[in-house]
Structure 1
Amino acid sequence: MNLLFRVDAGSALGIGHVARCLTLAAELVACGARVAFACRELPGHQMARIAAAGHQVFPLSLALEDDIAALAAVLPAGCRFDWLIVDHYGLDASWETPARQWARRIMVIDDLADRPHDCDLLLDQNFTASAARYQPRVPARCRLLAGPRHALLRPAFRQPRQAESERARRVLVSFGGFDQAGMTLKALQALAGIEQVEVQCIAGQGSADLPALQALVASRPGWQLLGFVDDLPERMAAATLFVGAGGGTTWERAAMGLPSLCVGVADNQLENAEALGQAGVHLYLGAAPMVSVEALRQAIAVLLDNLPLRQHFAARGRALVDGQGARRVAVALLADGVQVRPATSGDARLLFDGRNAEAVRQNSLDSAPLDWDSHCRWLDATLASQQRLLLVGETTDGPLGMLRYDLLEASRARVSLYLFDGRYGVGWGRALLAAGERALLGRWPALEAIEAQVLAHNAPSLALFRGAGYTQAECHFERIVRNSRHEQF
């Protein structure tokens, strides 16, 4: 599958859009896709960084003001992508519609909900994202991926920090690649008024306050001033507290359970940062122009001296963001590439290990471990049956899971499925169901309905079937009376 990202970075735009697109691109490549980028040649662009990650880059000349014309000038004749991914506040449906000449489908990454889109998939990873916000702005066919469950995080941020010491006082400060609001200097000035604190400051690129930052850090033993770092997860893991903006690092901090003090440095951060503060995910001080050095000092001091409060923020963050968002988005993009094939006797070990996995057995109608000989007899009988269809789902990087369809009558069948180890919880089940239905109708063309049986405690499967268009129509009760004793009166 081929995908093209249309995204920009620069001294005025920041680097957050490119950073999150690179994270998604890495997940796509890991799943076997091919990725390219198209970017304007703005001051502070990140094209060298994109190329260093191994992706082709199409530079869009500033001489062509019309963005569609600029893209047409660099893309090869007849070029066609499976997906065009647009992460750009300056582009909307008026750009996306003509851009369909290069792509079968379009995905938009947005968090403003302030303009119309002509897209098939939309991602808003903010806490405030909802279908209601986008319903008037996207086509009815558009699928929405909403909320921090889809936050685009690198795998290194998936591991939570270890329990911290009451006496630890390590503060990590970062306000993004370009600190236009001047919050980095304010934060360091605030920290200068707090005793016994270690500080690491990531100043970003081209800060106008760099001389003042250097002077302040030089006067403080144990303080560090850093430019771009490639080991941010390790630095977060060692920190007691993070002081920063309400951008992309919000989700990184939450996933790692790093307590943070947040300041909104851009208009598009304010609503989300405030909502997360009200939800107890971080301490939010407000928009940058309203935050003083003294307010920062007091808030930092409170957090450093209050371990239970930091632990509360850490727990709330980890509950909100599990770090699997980039994989979920990649799966949504690659779902059409899932294929199913009839199972064979050569799949015996694959199916045996998949069905015997603890996570699968716990949610099965029969949770007992399989016996190998019994499994082989079952597989032989299943493959010989005309009333059962057994399928194995696959994608470019290997097997996904098993689908079994049992014909109950000419117009009705029952489905059951499980995913193989390492495929849980990121959306492959929905893609597997869709691929299975396409194959199923080829086998039994008279089929009109498919049913499924799901245990009441199996929340992932309940969500899967509801999301795939199944209607929950029955309520089944059961009481175990074997070996029970009747009360005597």
Structure 2
Amino acid sequence: MRVLVRADAGAELGAGHLMRCLALAQALRARGAEVSFACRPLPGFAPAMVTGQGFALHLLEGAAEHPPAPAQPYHWAVVDHYGLGAEWEAQARAYAGRVLAIDDLADRAHACDGLLDHNLSASAERYAPWLPASAEGLFGPRYALLRPIFSQGPRPLAERVGRVLVNFGGFDAAGMALRAVQALQAWPDLAVEVVAGRGNPALATLQALLRGRPGSECVEVCQELGERMARADLIVGAGGGSSLERAALGVPSLCVAVADNQVAGATRLAEAGAHLYLGEAAHLQPGQLEGALGLLLANAPLRRSLAARGLELVDGQGTARVARWLFASTLRLRPAVGDDAQLLFDGRNAAAVRAASLNPAPLSWPMHQAWLAATLQDPHRALLVAEAGDGPVGSVRLDRQAPGEAEISLYLFEARLGQGWGGALLAAAHAWLAAQWPDVLRLNAQVLPGNGASQRLFRQAGYRALPQHFQFDREP
């Protein structure tokens, strides 16, 4: 699958849009997708933020908002930009089959196939005036675009806070890191780590304030921010995506909104009991940070409550869910017909497919034709062909067994191997089953012992590994 991401980052804009898109891009690439970015060279943006992660980058110069037309169309264009809406999305269809918009504001029209807003404040009702009726909504922290470090679960909380992390995003235009460190001077025994953000004018001052404090340091940027967050006992930071990261780690936090678009989400997380929220940076009163820090540092039950509620709301699996959705949304299953004989013969006879089959012997054409004719007449068997916008992807066969049970078998066509389509094909098969054979609640799958890829595929989809096969029970 080929994906284009349109997102920007800069000193004034911040880095949140780009960071969450990079998390999604990494998840897509891990599943075999080819991902490219299109970004404007805004002040403060470093191309290495994208290319350093191994992704192709189109720099948009002048008035251009779209990259050059690709040799092959993209399956998806993903746009995460408050300045772009329905007009950009409609134009993107010239080179992309489908469009996913990522938004927080619900303030402009969209012409997309899907809209993602991972804030607690998101809802179908909020976006109803702005979306086409055909668009699917991915709403709430269930779809939070977080990196893998944030899906590893919590570590035990310390009874006493020993280490505090301060980070207000990739650029900290509001200067909140300095204000937080100045407030923390009242607790000289705490180890304080600060990730100040690119080009922070207070960097030297921050480093001077921490000099001599045991276990403390201030860096401008770092690659291991997630690891630093995971080892902190308390985090002081901004709203937006970073507040969801803290929740997924189960680390209690003190939040200050540094942009207007962070206010609604930060407020809802506070109302849900997932962090302590002080409001917008511009409205902080003298002594307010110190008072809130003192409350959290002295109150272990409060810290435990904030951490536990955060973990309940954000499970860290959102990026994987969105990646699966992007793959699955491009697939359509249709019943096989006689004219598919050559397609299915070539697909099943591919060496890589035969190697993973229970019967690895090559098929003969007469045998295949006879099998297909019998299959198409069998009321207890469904043979399906999966297609994306650019052609066929694979095949699924479902065979009824005992009442309420069926066996599932699937394979990808050779040109689609290694591109991440397996999970999407299995998800599409589950959706077809729910619609067409709703009485079938149990699926069984035979997998060769040495077929690690198929074993991972079924495990990731929730199948249980039994002694002789994999089994899945779906909800009625």
Matched with 1:112 is: 105
1:249 pairs with one of 242, 254, 258 = 242
User: Contact 1:419–1:429 at 8 Å: present in 2 too?
Assistant: no
Counterpart-to-counterpart distance in 2, 1:79 and 1:228:
36
Corresponding residue number in structure 2 for 1:433:
430
Q: 2-side partners of 1:346 and 1:53: how far apart?
A: 33
Once the two structures are overlaid, the 10-residue window that deviates more, 301-310 or 19-28, is: 301-310
Q: Contact between 1:405 and 1:414, CA under 8 Å: does it hold in 2?
A: no
1:188 to 181, 185, 199: 181
Q: CA deviation at 1:435?
A: 5.9
Aligned mates of 2:285, 2:215 — CA distance in 1: 25
Cα offset, 1:157, TM superposition:
1.3
Deviation at 1:451, TM superposition (A): 2.5
Does residue 451 (structure 1) correspond to residue 438 (structure 2)? The answer is yes
Counterpart contact for 1:387–1:407, Cα < 8 Å: no
Cα deviation, 1:188-217, whole Å, max 9, x if unaligned, reads 011001242111011011112223222212
**2:189, 2:213 within 8 Å by CA — same for their partners in 1?**
no
Distance 1:417 1:126, change over 3 A: farther
Q: Does 1:260 align with 2:253?
A: yes
Q: Could you say what the CA RMSD is over the residues aligned between the two structures, in angstroms?
A: 3.8
Q: What CA distance in whole angstroms lies between the structure 2 residues aligned with 1:394 and 1:306?
A: 56
Q: Deviations over 1:337-369 (max 9, x none)?
A: 4879899997569xxxxxxxxxxxxxxxxxxxx
Question: Take 1:158 and 1:232, find their aligned partners in 2: how far apart are those partners?
Answer: 14
> Residues 429 and 346 from structure 1, CA distance in 2 versus in 1: closer, same or farther, beyond 3 angstroms?
closer
Contact kept, 8 Å, 2:200 with 2:220, in 1: the verdict is no
Contact 1:85–1:106 (Cα < 8 Å) also in 2? yes
Answering whether residue 138 of structure 2 is matched by residue 154 of structure 1, we say: no
Unaligned runs of 5+ in 1: 350-381, 438-447, 462-469, 473-489
CA deviation vs aligned residue, 1:394-442 (integer Å, no higher than 9, x gap)? 999xx9998745499xxxx97858899xx9xx987642334669xxxxx
Cα gap change, 1:75/1:308 in structure 2, threshold over 3 Å: closer, same or farther?
same
How do residues 35-434 of structure 1 correspond to structure 2 at under 5 angstroms? Answer: 35-61=35-61, 64-65=62-63, 67-68=64-65, 71=66, 74-76=67-69, 79-218=72-211, 220-335=213-328, 336-337=330-331, 386-389=378-381, 404=398, 406=400, 430-434=427-431
- Give, in whole Å, the separation in 1 of the partners of 2:188 and 2:319: 40
CA distance in 2, matches of 1:234, 1:275: 26
Give the conservation status (yes or no) of the 8 Å contact 2:3–2:78: yes
The structure-2 alpha-carbon separation of the partners of 1:383 and 1:156, relative to structure 1 and needing over 3 Å to count, comes to: farther
Q: 1:90 to 1:33 in 2, by over 3 A?
A: same
Q: Normalising by structure 2, report the TM-score.
A: 0.75
The CA distance in 2 between the partners of 1:401 and 1:309, in whole Å, is 53
- Which TM-score applies when normalising by structure 1? 0.73
How far residue 290 of structure 1 moved from its aligned partner, in angstroms, is 1.8
CA 1:145–1:155: 2 relative to 1, 3 Å: same
Contact 1:403–1:416 under 8 Å retained in 2: no
Match of 2:226, SS state, is helix
Instruction: Report sequence identity in percent.
Output: 43
| Stretch moving more, 171-180 or 204-213 | 204-213
What's the offset of the Cα at 1:59?
0.8
1:40–1:59 CA contact under 8 A, matched in 2: yes
- TM-fit CA distance, 1:386: 2.8
Work out the CA distance in 1 between the residues paired with 2:188 and 2:120: 35
The question of whether the paired residues in 1 share the 8 Å contact of 2:400 and 2:407 is answered with no
> What is the CA-CA distance between 1:237 and the residue it aligns to?
2.2
